[in-house]
Structure 1
Amino acid sequence: MVKLAELVFIPFPCIGHLVSAVEIAKLLVHRDERISVTVLLIDVSLDPTIHGYVNSLSSNNRIQYIKLPHVTFPTDGGLELAIHRIVENHIQPVKEAVTQLTMNANRGKDSSQLAGFVIDTCCSTMIDVANEFDVPTYVFHSASAGSLAISLLLQSIHDEHNGEAVEFNNSEAELRAPSCANPVPYKVLPHFPKDPSTKAFFINCLRKFREAKGILVNTFMELESRAIGSLTDGEIPPLYPIGPVINLKTEVDIESSTIMEWLDEQPDSSVVFLCFGSYGSFGSDQTNEIALALEKSGMRFLWTIRKPPPKGKMEYPKDMSDFNEFLPDGFLHRTTDVGKVIGWAPQTQILSHRAIGGFVSHCGWNSTLESIHFGVPIATWPQYSEQQLNAFQLVKEYKLAQEIRMDYRKKFGADEHEDVVTAEEIINGLRALMEKDCGTRRRMKEMRDISKKVVTDGGSSHAFLGKFIDDVINNMPRHH
């Protein structure tokens, strides 16, 4: 009996990373019957949306999900340090789970053989664990090829200058990067943490990437050809752009059916959708400016509002029971004919609706790929992480977005004064976004068609996925 090539997936427990890792696992087993996948689920209570999602996953058809034992870790010291601790504290549980898997295979309980690890970008220390089992590691990068290229560039600049890298903060300077046609302003670069120990963790993470056997990236050649090209210099493991990999299934509930009914009543491409991701929220000053802009512009809108976490708390935004207490007096009443304010949003369902004409987005990579999939142009309003760089690429490099801001930045759970984007700025961005015959809209429609072709037989992502599977099979350890 031929043994299946078993890949162990270790996604990071953050909804954007987890969902795309699971979708890739499904894609692999669907594509090739020689592959089976075990997804190790890290159980931490960082993100409330994860529990529902994890509970909806069921092992079937060559994919099994194993929940690792709950490990507590301190969350003082901010998000970056928490990420580091989550990964470090799960090295032992991962070893034990994989040992159990290989024992089952050796006892013949299982017709599979461990073929490699597929680990999240944040989990690169797990490469050492894979080495102990004598199998290759592949990294799964759930963000853009552009962000990967820039991060690796920053890491090598840091190392060449013995850690004395130019400080990339608040400077008017620009970085010339092979991955971008335009010079990149420092203020859209991913922030390297100030704290030395966390900074060391990030630099190490990136350095370790170079030891991997290959890197899967959720993007496609035709969207990011320059960035992908810049990563094939022989210094970096082979890249497999296999995207867009997106989860198009959303649970329909009472809440989302009322949203869809409202959209059904709106004219085609007339509604602007404002949604800032699972961590996105604003304080009252900024919320007021958005409300003012929407009211003044007279546009139809669907706006997701979440309650910001208490000051200084590393928590996720929550849904609120009464929008009125957060919005200007009488706003909901005055805009009742043209607008709808909601809490949680079934994003893919909304983006796929004919009434949606534009998306004011935090530019998270999954949201960006969804927007491309449905051909909806974006107005950029990034928040955290690498979203500023995504916004820059969408506006300047790929011309698929209009700018509200590219360098807006919030600190996750931080107790700091919020930078406020004025109603005027927002209105200008919205008008540019909703123009009927703007070039952005046309290019987004073209990219939508390409994004659907690349994953079908003969498409670039389809071919790269096949190549990745061949590499996994060919690199299987022969000595077990």
Structure 2
Amino acid sequence: MASIVAELVFIPAPGVGHIMSTVEIAKLFVNRDQRLSITVLVIQPPSSSSGPAITTYIESLSKNNINRISFIQLPQDEAPPMRDVKSFMTSFNDYIKSHQKYVRNVVAELMSQPGSGRLAGFVVDMFCTSMIDVANEFSVPTNVFFTSNAAFLGFKLFVQTLSDYQNQDVVALTNSDTEVSVPSFVKPVPTKVFWTILQTREGLDFALVFARKLREVKAIMVNTFLELETHAIESLSADVNIPKVYPVGPILNLEGSSKAVSSSLGNDDVIRWLDSQPTSSVVVLCFGSMGCFDEVQVKEIARGLELSGHRFVWSLRRPPSDETSKVPSDYEDPGVVLPEGFLERTDGIGKVIGWAPQVALLAHSAVGGFVSHCGWNSLLESLWFGVPVATWPMYAEQQMNAFEMVVELGLAVEIKLDYEKNLFFPEANTVVVGAEEIESGIRRLMEDNEVRRKVKEISEKSRAAVGEGGSSYAAVGDLIQDFIRNISLTLSE
């Protein structure tokens, strides 16, 4: 058995965050068992804005020569028009499906090479479930890597049950003002924090495509851990109509926590400034790769920070300037959008920066709070480092993440739970969060000792989960044994 190499094919969604998470779990598998070898098939994104970043990232990984992990960038089909949210939703799944032929050819070529191991299965991103059909052609099982949390996984499957089997009008429900009992949540979930995509028929159809395919896989690996989402995981495990769920997290890329990485990115002055600040005294404001605000909201954030009196590091990004790019950038001079005199008044108290080395900041002992857009990776990072969060969700499932953290688990405080940012039509963003509301949230964030205690406690549990003997460590071991069993079964046939 020791000489058998089980070959796995990983297919992440075409986004830097999804690819990074996929690479981290791939590294986890090959480091745990010498018999595993992994090929990551990279789909280029349909928009040109993030393509160069993905290519640069993959090239850097290839240079590092990660043992028993290889990368193949698939040919890029012509991207369909995705000028707005409707065209994106109707085209994205077709775009992923169009790459099935490339995956089929690459896998066939891999398996024909001398010395290759036996194909043990596919591991696909939750947005790449159409690749199940290709795995079936090779007579191997598919596992999904679900890069969000277990409660949201349960919600997606619950919505599909409502729509397909109970004939509920999910769109009307989402747009109502009520609360709904969802099996993966202990507390009723307000419809105001429902996944924003469900507000339209096109969005619901998009969600249902992926939810239905989830039920066809052998297992679902979730980037969470049992001690964090005990109820959600137990509710999923108790449902015989859901594939086996393995909590394998937190899966994090922590390499950015070193000062050397921050220095290479031009943020050494921020780290030096943090070095001179008292322990847990600084609040970090960072809103993810797509996080940016118009000038009116920027001024309210600035006023809220001044009113709070707390030290801060603020990652302030400029909204996309034209239709060709949907990605925020850095200001040459942030003073053009900040209140007059703000930078002078807060000199020595705070730092306004552009792109932020988020992991390096959260890892620093001076940081005591994090105002976040509530992307799941960001929340896991904050928990890992024991830094409490104030929630400011923007899009996708972030409102549900915020609800889970604040109301369900008591691990965060609220600035907003139902804030929503329209990425495709910025002019539609009319809600402004006022300075007083921001000040109140920051004060609670930095002064609520009970939330701080609970976050420190779950931080210790997150590290124990992935350590030898931990719950996620055991789940990964079970998955590896399952991969090896797949090889044994095919050899005995």
Structure 2 length as normaliser, TM-score?
Answer: 0.92
**2:89 and 2:202 in contact (8 A); partners too:** no
Question: Which moved further from structure 2: 195-204 or 355-364?
Answer: 195-204
Match of 2:55 among 46, 51, 54: 51
1 CA distance for matches of 2:40 and 2:198? 30
Cα deviation digits, residues 81-127 of structure 1 (max 9, x gap):
453243122122211211211221xxx2x331111000000011111
How many Å apart are 1:169 and its aligned residue?
3.5
Alignment of 1:170-249 (within 5 A): 170-193=175-198, 196=201, 199-232=204-237, 233-249=239-255
Cα deviation digits, residues 341-400 of structure 1 (max 9, x gap):
011111111101011010000110100110011000000000111110010000011111
**1:150 and 1:177 in contact (8 A); partners too:** yes
How many Å apart are 1:413 and its aligned residue?
2.5
Match of 2:434 in 1: 422
Match of 2:355 in 1: 344
How many Å apart are 1:323 and its aligned residue?
0.6
1 CA distance for matches of 2:220 and 2:42? 20
2 CA distance for matches of 1:186 and 1:31? 42
Alignment of 1:284-433 (within 5 A): 284-310=295-321, 315-415=326-426, 416-433=428-445
Q: Cα 1:363–1:417, aligned 2, differ >3 Å: closer, same or farther?
A: closer
Q: Cα 1:166–1:71, aligned 2, differ >3 Å: closer, same or farther?
A: closer
Match of 2:147 in 1: 142
**1:280 and 1:362 in contact (8 A); partners too:** yes
Match of 2:100 among 91, 97, 114: 91
Match of 2:41 in 1: 40
**1:312 and 1:414 in contact (8 A); partners too:** no
**2:11 and 2:128 in contact (8 A); partners too:** yes
1 CA distance for matches of 2:324 and 2:409? 36
1 CA distance for matches of 2:317 and 2:272? 22
Match of 1:72 in 2: 78
Q: Cα 1:311–1:214, aligned 2, differ >3 Å: closer, same or farther?
A: same
Question: Which moved further from structure 2: 22-31 or 226-235?
Answer: 226-235
Match of 2:131 in 1: 126
**Structure 2 residue 439 is matched with structure 1 residue 434:** no
RMSD: 1.8
SS across alignment from 1:405: coil
Segments of structure 1 that go 5 or more residues without pairing to the other structure are none
Segments of structure 2 that go 5 or more residues without pairing to the other structure are none
**1:309 and 1:413 in contact (8 A); partners too:** no
Match of 1:455 in 2: 466
SS across alignment from 1:206: helix
How many Å apart are 1:46 and its aligned residue?
4.3
Cα deviation digits, residues 248-281 of structure 1 (max 9, x gap):
0123315121110111111111100000011111
2 CA distance for matches of 1:382 and 1:63? 35
**1:358 and 1:379 in contact (8 A); partners too:** yes
Question: Which moved further from structure 2: 161-170 or 272-281?
Answer: 161-170
2 CA distance for matches of 1:406 and 1:457? 36
Match of 1:155 in 2: 160
2 CA distance for matches of 1:198 and 1:398? 28
Question: Which moved further from structure 2: 182-191 or 55-64?
Answer: 55-64
| Counterpart code for 2:255 | K
**1:319 and 1:344 in contact (8 A); partners too:** yes
**1:311 and 1:413 in contact (8 A); partners too:** no
1 CA distance for matches of 2:55 and 2:331? 20
SS across alignment from 1:340: strand
2 CA distance for matches of 1:163 and 1:76? 30
How many Å apart are 1:230 and its aligned residue?
0.9
| Counterpart code for 2:216 | E
SS across alignment from 2:170: coil
SS across alignment from 1:118: strand
**2:120 and 2:486 in contact (8 A); partners too:** yes
Match of 2:110 among 101, 120, 123: 101
**1:168 and 1:189 in contact (8 A); partners too:** no
How many Å apart are 1:312 and its aligned residue?
6.3
SS across alignment from 1:8: strand
**1:173 and 1:185 in contact (8 A); partners too:** yes
1 CA distance for matches of 2:217 and 2:453? 39
Which contiguous aligned blocks of 4+ residues in structure 1 show a shift greater than 6 angstroms?
Answer: 311-314
Match of 2:266 among 208, 232, 255: 255
Q: Cα 1:92–1:111, aligned 2, differ >3 Å: closer, same or farther?
A: closer
**1:356 and 1:376 in contact (8 A); partners too:** yes
Q: Cα 1:320–1:83, aligned 2, differ >3 Å: closer, same or farther?
A: farther
| Counterpart code for 2:457 | E
2 CA distance for matches of 1:231 and 1:408? 28
**2:110 and 2:116 in contact (8 A); partners too:** no
SS across alignment from 2:120: strand
How many Å apart are 1:80 and its aligned residue?
2.9
**2:175 and 2:199 in contact (8 A); partners too:** no
How many Å apart are 1:193 and its aligned residue?
4.7
**2:144 and 2:221 in contact (8 A); partners too:** yes
How many Å apart are 1:166 and its aligned residue?
5.0
**1:83 and 1:122 in contact (8 A); partners too:** no
Structure 1 length as normaliser, TM-score?
Answer: 0.95
| Counterpart code for 1:373 | W
1 CA distance for matches of 2:452 and 2:398? 21
How many Å apart are 1:208 and its aligned residue?
0.8
